């Protein structure tokens, strides 16, 4: 009898190991889509005079609550932003994207809008916004506002009316559904992997919220909702806004049949966010109707003629899904944020070479990649690079010389670090919203407190770093490192600072047709050392080449042209390039006839 029991235990153990292996593979493997073939010919670039401004722009993101407080209440505001416009323009940025400052109960700090046509009083007034737009245009800058189209606050008058009964004029303005067997209508999760349905006793139905419970989803299948939102966008376009950043754009439409999402063994979220916590979000994420809406929004902006307004969407998915939002004929959103390299940032040449190859394959001209390494939702890039300022310089070198539109988050130009505010002290509502995650995982660092990338901008070394009055209490604590060199004032006075690197790179970009409008070709082969990333930007007969040494040791290689800008140790003479460890250079030349 003992032998069969041993065999049974052995069989069970092998099956368990096989299951664990499959489970780990499903949760850790992130398949890559095959790269499409492209036909991009260097020297055949479209004339820049016929192309829209946004293709060559550089974007600086302002998180208003943390940028500059003008009245001492500890909260950044619009007059404070106006007072700092010359800092942004002086760096060389042409466009500013503002996180929301609309009327809001601030449960998600502006991403829960209660009135799209009013300004939250802590930020200022409508007159302040009008002044902001005018001041930016006077400086030759573009203003991009952040719009949350997917949902409103549950404090919005539309939702209050919709929730009150099943037969009021706005009863069908949100996603409502009867429950099943005393529970929710179906198994849909929200973006965070927890239940997306919430019961409203006032009307005895459930409403769907793709993000947090106080952010009910609008019903975009209702023509009245679509018209109201389009009119709201026209309101801001009429005021002179130059474009919009669209929050969680690929969550807007859900399956109109309300079918259950399929189950999956995937629990860890992948880069595309399509599968997590045991659910494949087939019916709630990347619905085909989102691409139709993208084209409709592009048509709406086209009503305003030249100069063209533009749209950039926050979206999560595989590259073919993201590409569809841009339109088969580049007639959808102008841009989508590409987070693949943001979320998996790794310091080696292979990582960047393959990332560039992927972006170039999926977003060839007339499409354009976006280059974003930090924002208001994730750890700062320099922190993910081990707080290494030289690596941050080289990251900026690449961001401003690659083909596409770079987006820089406030404070990146001085190397602001992620803060260290514990989860238990978070004002950010996300940590509390994912309470289904075990504490040992929550406390391991895998759950990010977004407060830590939203600490106040560090303008100087004094009390509160110049963000607010010395005696005021900022809404989030100022980082202690502001007293050292991680502030604007100190770096303005230090010629070799990260801030000056940003300024020089942006100045070079503005002066270079290849860097603004050129095609891109990776330079590869046995002549390129393994730790060196090299690529060429070509516009007509003008050429710029970029070389970055990711390794700690010096390298030498052949290269053409003359040095235009170097970061770290780099010397180009007589067709020979010497790159120091963590060194980079931009070189330029003209092709002969």
Q: Catalytic positions, please? A: 247, 303
**Burial class of 389 by CB neighbour count within 10 A (0 to 12, 13 to 18, 19+):** middle
157's enclosing H/E stretch is helix 157-164
CA 491/CA 327 separation, integer angstroms: 43
Q: Are 188 and 283 in contact (CB under 8 A)?
A: yes
The sign of the dihedral angle between the CA atoms of 101, 106, 107, 113 is negative
Q: How many CB atoms lie within 10 A of CB 320?
A: 12
Residue for token digits 């963000």?
467
Looking at residue 378, the DSSP 8-state letter turns out to be S
Distance of CA 426 to the CA centre of its chain: 21
**DSSP-based three-state secondary structure for 39:** coil
Q: Quote the CA–CA distance of 433 and 431 in Å, as a whole number.
A: 5
The tokens for 500 are 């000056």
3-state SS record for 229-281: HHHHHHHHHHCCCCEEEECCHHHCCCCCCCCCCCECCCCCCCCCCCEECCEEC
What beta strand segments (E) does 347-387 contain?
Answer: 370-372
CA 268 to chain centre: 21
Contacts of 500 (CB under 8 A, 6+ apart): 491, 494
Tokens of 293: 């809406």
Nearest to 221 by CA among 273, 183, 177: 177
CA distances from 166 to 162, 169, 171, 255, 412 (A): 7, 9, 5, 21, 49
User: How many CB atoms within 10 Å of residue 476?
Assistant: 20
Angstrom CA distances, 223 to 41, 110, 172, stand at: 44, 26, 10
| C-alpha span between 40 and 360 (Å, rounded) | 9
Contact predicate 64/77, CB 8 Å = yes
Query: What is the total residue count of the chain?
Result: 593
């Amino acid at each position: 009898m003992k032998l069969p029991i041993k065999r049974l235990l052995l069989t069970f153990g092998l099956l368990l190991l096989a299951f664990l292996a499959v489970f780990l593979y499903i949760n850790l493997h992130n398949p890559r889509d095959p790269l499409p073939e492209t036909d991009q010919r260097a020297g055949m670039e479209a004339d820049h005079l016929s192309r829209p401004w946004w293709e060559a722009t550089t974007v600086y993101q302002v998180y208003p609550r943390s940028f500059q407080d003008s009245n001492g209440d500890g909260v950044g505001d619009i007059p404070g932003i106006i007072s700092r416009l010359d800092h942004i323009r002086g760096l060389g940025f042409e466009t500013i994207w503002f996180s929301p400052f609309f009327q809001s109960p601030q449960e998600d700090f502006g991403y829960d809008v209660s009135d799209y046509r009013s300004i939250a009083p802590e930020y200022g007034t409508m007159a302040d916004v009008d002044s902001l737009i005018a001041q930016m245009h006077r400086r030759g800058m573009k203003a991009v506002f952040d719009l949350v189209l997917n949902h409103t606050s549950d404090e919005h008058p539309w939702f209050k009316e919709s929730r009150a009964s099943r037969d009021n004029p706005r009863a069908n303005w949100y996603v409502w559904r009867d429950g099943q067997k005393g529970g929710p209508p179906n198994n849909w999760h929200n973006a965070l992997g927890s239940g997306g349905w919430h019961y409203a006793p006032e009307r005895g139905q459930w409403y769907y919220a793709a993000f947090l419970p106080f952010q009910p989803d609008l019903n975009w299948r209702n023509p009245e909702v679509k018209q109201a939102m389009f009119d709201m966008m026209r309101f801001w376009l009429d005021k002179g806004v130059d474009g919009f950043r669209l929050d969680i754009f690929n969550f807007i439409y859900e399956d109109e049949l309300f079918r259950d999402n399929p189950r999956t063994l995937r629990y860890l979220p992948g880069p595309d966010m399509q599968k997590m916590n045991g659910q494949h979000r087939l019916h709630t994420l990347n619905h085909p109707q989102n691409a139709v809406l993208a084209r409709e929004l592009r048509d709406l902006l086209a009503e305003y003629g030249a100069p063209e307004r533009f749209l950039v969407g926050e979206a999560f998915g595989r590259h073919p899904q993201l590409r569809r939002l841009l339109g088969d004929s580049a007639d959808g959103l102008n841009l989508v944020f590409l987070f693949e390299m943001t979320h998996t940032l790794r310091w080696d040449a292979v990582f960047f070479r393959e990332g560039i190859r992927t972006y170039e394959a999926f977003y060839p001209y007339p499409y354009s990649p976006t280059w974003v390494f930090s924002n208001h939702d994730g750890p700062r890039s320099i922190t993910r690079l081990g707080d290494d300022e030289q690596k941050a310089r080289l990251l900026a070198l690449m961001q401003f010389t690659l083909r596409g539109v770079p987006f820089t988050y406030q404070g990146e130009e001085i190397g602001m670090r992620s803060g260290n505010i514990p989860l238990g002290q978070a004002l950010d509502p996300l940590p509390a919203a994912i309470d289904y995650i075990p504490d040992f995982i929550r406390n391991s660092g895998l759950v990010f407190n977004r407060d830590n990338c939203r600490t106040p901008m560090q303008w100087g070394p004094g009390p509160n770093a110049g963000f607010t009055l010395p005696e005021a209490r900022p809404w989030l604590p100022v980082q202690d490192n502001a007293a050292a060199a991680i502030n604007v004032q100190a770096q303005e006075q230090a010629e070799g600072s990260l801030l000056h690197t940003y300024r020089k790179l942006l100045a070079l970009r503005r002066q270079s047709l290849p860097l603004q409008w050129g095609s891109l070709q990776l330079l590869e082969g046995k002549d390129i050392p393994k730790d060196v990333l090299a690529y060429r930007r070509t516009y007509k007969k003008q050429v710029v080449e970029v070389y970055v040494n990711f390794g700690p040791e010096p390298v030498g290689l052949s290269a053409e042209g003359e040095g235009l800008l170097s970061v770290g140790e780099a010397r180009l003479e007589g067709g020979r390039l010497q790159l120091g460890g963590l060194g980079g250079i931009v070189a330029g030349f003209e092709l002969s006839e």
